[in-house]
Amino acid sequence: MNTLPELGARLRAARKRGYPNDDLATFALRIGVSRATLQKMEKGDMSVAIGRYLAAAERLGLSDGFDALFAQSGSMFDD
């Protein structure tokens, strides 16, 4: 499974839905990154820090899922 490219594609779709008039440079300014970094994010480049994705998710109103990223419900040894 190649999750980061999928995440990047979802970011791009959310950006286009949430800010349809923004080009890459304008939305990049909204989240505090360069245009080149946003391009990397939308491609799923592994060199981009997760905090950048969080900034984008917050701007788009989609950050609730970040709270559950590493949450574990019970022990993996529970039956």
pTM: 0.83
Q: Which domains does the chain have, with CATH numbers?
A: 3-61 (1.10.260.40)
- Per residue in 11-26, pLDDT (tens digit) is 999 999 999 999 999 9
**Which pLDDT value is given to residue 75?**
67
**Which pLDDT value is given to residue 76?**
61
Residue ranges in the chain whose pLDDT is less than 70: 1, 75-76, 78-79
HEC string for 13-57: HHHHHHCCCCCHHHHHHHHCCCHHHHHHHHHCCCCCCHHHHHHHH
Q: If we measure between CA atoms, which residue out of 36, 50, 37, 71 comes closest to residue 7?
A: 50
